[in-house]
Amino acid sequence: MTTTAMNNLWTYIESLGLSARNRKWLAEKLLAPSSSETELNATTIKAIEDVKAGKTYKASSVDDLLTQCLG
């Protein structure tokens, strides 16, 4: 998202006149990891645990490695 788009979004959000409760809800939603971030973190943790346990992978790329970890 461009700086201009972010500024326009911020201006719009400020214009809504949100209550403190609604501002808190919005802040929590904005700070929550997306589902793809959560999935990637879980995959990364599994790969690290596998390596610590001595498991090895034959991967030609990071995507290949992640695919094998999910396997």
pTM above 0.85, yes or no: no
Please write the tens of the pLDDT for every residue from 22-46.
889 888 888 877 777 777 777 777 7
Query: How many angstroms separate the CA atoms of 56 and 42, rounded?
Result: 18
Region label for 54, one of left (φ > 0), alpha (ψ between -120 and 50) or beta (otherwise): left
pLDDT at 71: 63
For 35, list phi and psi in degrees, rounded to 5: -65, -35
- Structure confidence at residue 70 (pLDDT): 67
Exposure string over 44-65, b if 16+ CB within 10 A, otherwise e: eeebeeeeeeeeeeeeeeeeee
